[in-house]
Chain A
């Protein structure tokens, strides 16, 4: 009997992970003492609504603004991006940072 190759790893749903990322971002912002409006100003956003969209778990921090977002929240950009990757693309994060040679 032919064996089926399983390509899909069992990972939590993308929606749930985005929500966790949002909660983490909200905690970081609170620790940095910033409101959503103040963070949006630091990110040069016209409206602060995108910050809420991301923190509510419906959107992602775009790759191109991860550095600014991380710095605004008082985090080193690569550590910030790595943590976000664990939520946004857990399989890539596992391959890059968890699988040993």
Chain B
């Protein structure tokens, strides 16, 4: 009996993404780029030549928010602190996961902005109320005196 040796379907890492892979990843992060959760992206590679894709925070810090790497046949999604968020051999599934992580980040940004807006508005209203109250009190005090002079 002859046993045929099949080559495993593992690409040799050369540090580069295929155009289809980049397209899938960029599609998943595009909404984040418009919403402030991301500021841009760059690609790089490990010393072994496994390609990496970095989603960066907006300027001035521009640090990695999410990192997607291809290690052998596995795609790995990590956050900027090295926590593995998802790993799978399907890039489409991983991109979906990345999109959902970024949606949560965007929601957090929106919630924070809304909270800041409400705080500023309330503070402004309180200050305005105090100033208006003082003016009314002053008016109530001065008007009878003016009337007496007239």
Question: A residues bordering B, Cβ < 8 Å?
Answer: 13-15, 18, 35-37, 45-54, 56, 58-60, 62, 65
What number of A-B contacts does a CB cutoff of 8 Å give?
A: 72
Contact of B82 among A13, A15, A18, A45 (CB under 8 A): A45
Do B42 and A47 touch (CB < 8 A)? Answer: no
B-side contacts of A60, CB under 8 Å:
63, 80
Q: Does B81 interact with chain A (Cβ within 8 Å)?
A: yes
- Ranked nearest first, the 8 interchain pairs of A and B with the lowest CB-CB distance are A50-B82, A52-B46, A58-B64, A49-B69, A56-B44, A58-B54, A59-B64, A15-B62
Q: A18-B63, A47-B76 are in contact. Are A56 and B81 (CB under 8 A)?
A: no
Bound complex: CA of A13 vs CA of B59, how far in Å?
10
Question: B residues bordering A, Cβ < 8 Å?
Answer: 42, 44-48, 50, 52, 54, 56, 60-64, 67, 69, 71, 76, 78, 80-82, 84, 87
Chain B interface SS verdict (over half):
strand
Shortest A39–chain B CB gap in Å is: 10
B-side contacts of A52, CB under 8 Å:
44-47, 50, 52, 69
Residue among A18, A51, A53, A54 with most chain B CB within 10 A = A53
Contact of A36 among B47, B63, B80 (CB under 8 A): B47
Bound complex: CA of A9 vs CA of B95, how far in Å?
39
Contact of A14 among B60, B69, B82, B84 (CB under 8 A): B60
Bound complex: CA of A49 vs CA of B60, how far in Å?
24
Bound complex: CA of A19 vs CA of B63, how far in Å?
10
Q: A47-B76, A58-B42, A58-B54 are in contact. Are A37 and B82 (CB under 8 A)?
A: no
Bound complex: CA of A15 vs CA of B44, how far in Å?
15
Do A47 and B64 touch (CB < 8 A)? Answer: no
Shortest B60–chain A CB gap in Å is: 6
Bound complex: CA of A81 vs CA of B62, how far in Å?
21
When C-beta atoms are compared, the residue in chain A nearest to B64 turns out to be A58
Do B61 and A49 touch (CB < 8 A)? Answer: no
Shortest B39–chain A CB gap in Å is: 11
